[in-house]
Amino acid sequence: MKSIRYKQMASLICIITAIVFAFMGFFTPPTGEISESVLWFVAQCLIFSGSLIGVDCVIDQRLGKHS
């Protein structure tokens, strides 16, 4: 079994955090409306996790470690 690397764990944590913050944004006053700062944070988390996954895939391909 392949061990989970730090990059993969960090991107998984960022994705989960983004989903939780977006969900919680619906229930804070005013209810049903997500603040701009929450949307900005969610976008930054998703961009960061996407870049970690992308860089990891490129490095694995260049080193011939892709499965």
Q: What type of residue is 27?
A: F
- Counting residues of the chain whose pLDDT is more than 70, the rounded percentage is 90
Mean pLDDT score of the chain = 84
> pTM value?
0.72
Domain residue ranges of the chain, discontinuous segments joined by +: 6-63
pLDDT at 16 over 50: yes
By the 10 Å C-beta count (0-12 exposed, 13-18 middle, 19+ buried), 40 is classed as exposed
Place 1 in a pLDDT band, splitting at 50, 70 and 90.
very low
Please state, in angstroms and rounded to a whole number, the distance separating the CA atoms of residues 21 and 45. 10
Please state, in angstroms and rounded to a whole number, the distance separating the CA atoms of residues 45 and 33. 20
Residue 57 pLDDT: 79
By the 10 Å C-beta count (0-12 exposed, 13-18 middle, 19+ buried), 34 is classed as middle
